[in-house]
Amino acid sequence: MSRAPSSPAAPDLPAELARPSELPDELRELELEGALLRGIDLSERDATGLRLFESRLERVELAGARLQRANLSDVVVNAGSWANLAADSLLLKRVELRGVRLTGATLGNALLEDVVFSDCRVDLARFRFAKLLRVRFENCRLEEADFYAASLRSVVFSDCDRSEEHTSE
């Protein structure tokens, strides 16, 4: 007998967030906490090992960026493009993504725990060998998304277009 999926836990953000005056040129291994990032273009940047905690991203462009081994915990993301993001071994914990474009994003071997994708375009994204625990996709486009050998526990697809989705054991 299967149980109903558990709902993802919401991000825990502080009441006040600080808006950094500018980000350093070197994003590798950068750690930010309690940050508000708004309207920043980080496309094609290398942010390998980035650690972002208790923060909000609004219209942040990460198209083609590299976020391998990055850790985002207690983060809310509104709008922006993460298309073709290279994020193998990414850790997302208590993260909400709303209206984000993730076309062609690679999240192989990633761990997604307590994550909500709402009104996102996640087509052609690759979640190969990823672990998804308490993840919800709401009103998302998932055409040709690749979940090959991914572990999905308490994952819900609500009102999503999953045509030609690839899943295999």
* 82-107: average pLDDT: 98
Q: State which amino acid sits at residue 17.
A: L
Q: Which residues of 110-122 are buried (b: 16+ CB within 10 A; e: fewer)?
A: bbbbbbbbbebbb
Q: State which amino acid sits at residue 130.
A: A
pLDDT per residue as tens digits for the range 127-149: 999 999 999 999 999 999 999 99
Count of residues making up the chain: 169
Measured CA to CA in angstroms, residue 129 lies from 62, 132, 151, 152 at distances of 23, 10, 7, 10
pLDDT level of residue 2 (50, 70, 90 thresholds): low
pTM: 0.93
What average pLDDT does the structure give for the chain?
94
Does the structure show a pLDDT above 70 at 123?
A: yes
Lowest mean pLDDT, pick from 85-99, 110-124, 154-168:
154-168
pLDDT per residue as tens digits for the range 14-40: 999 999 988 888 899 999 999 999 999
Residue 112 tokens, joined: 């997604």
Strand runs labelled E in 42-145: 51-58, 71-78, 91-98, 111-118, 131-138
CA pair distance 145, 35, nearest whole angstrom: 31
56 CB neighbour count, 10 Å cutoff:
20
pLDDT level of residue 163 (50, 70, 90 thresholds): confident
Q: Which residues of 67-81 are buried (b: 16+ CB within 10 A; e: fewer)?
A: bbbbbbbbbbbbbbb
CA pair distance 162, 169, nearest whole angstrom: 18
Q: State which amino acid sits at residue 83.
A: A
* 35-57: average pLDDT: 97
With CA atoms as reference, report the closest residue to 138 among 165, 114, 119. Answer: 119
* 32-51: average pLDDT: 97
What percent of the chain is predicted at pLDDT more than 70? 95
